[in-house]
Structures are given as C-alpha cells and as structure tokens.
Amino acid sequence: MGKRRKGGKGRRRGRLAKKKQKKWNLEEKMKKKKKCKHKIWGKEKKRKSNNGKQQKWGMEKKRKEKMERKEEEVVEGEEMEEEEEEEGSGMKGDEEEQVKEREQEEAGEVEER
C-alpha cells in the first residue's frame, strides 16, 4: 500500500520559498485585519523613530554651554570694572590724567584703523 497524502500542503517548495510564502501570508492577513504590518513571524517589531533626537540633544548641549560662557564673561567683566574703579580711586591726580591721555590715544588708533 502506498502512503496516504495529507491534504492542505499544496506544492512542496524549498526552505526559503516556504519562509517567504509564510511571510507573505502573514502580511496579507495583517492587511486584512489592518493591524501592525511589522508583525511577522509572530513577533511584533516596534519601529522606534529617532528623528534626530541625538542631534537635537547635542544642539541643546551646545546652546547651554554658550549661555554659560556668556554669563561667565559678563560676571568677569563686572569684576574687572569693579577692580578698575577701586584702583582708580587710589590714584593721584597726575596719574589719572596720564591714564586718560593713554585711553584717548588708543581710541584714536582704533578709529584710524
């Protein structure tokens, strides 16, 4: 007696062809159900959208560093002005005049440039 053929298998194919057919059938089924198209082989693959989050994070970091630098410069500038005022109050009249003359000369050089 010959072997009894079990129905429902259809044409036999190679290993890869079977895999692809199985995948195709699952995709068709998902289209009919209108669910996740990425659910293949019984595992749901969630696609994470990164959408440049690393880049955005890097930009924010740079922006914060810039702001900190500006604040430090402002604070240092104020400290320098205070020191100059303290030094200026201790000078004699002649020294103050000499400092003013130098500043005017420097300003004149800057204007010429």
- Segments making up each domain of the chain, as ranges: 15-42, 53-112
- What is the per-residue pLDDT for 6? 65
pLDDT for res 44:
57
- What's residue 38's pLDDT? 55
pLDDT for res 111: 59
Task: Give the residue among 82, 58, 78 at the shortest CA–CA distance from 70.
Answer: 78
The predicted structure's pLDDT at residue 106: 78
Residue partners of 37: CB distance under 8 A and separation at least 6: 27, 30, 31
Q: What is the mean pLDDT of each run of 10 residues along the chain (113 residues)?
A: 64 74 82 61 60 74 90 85 68 73 76 56
Residue 99 exposed, middle or buried by CB count within 10 Å (0-12, 13-18, 19+): middle
Q: What is the pTM of this model?
A: 0.27
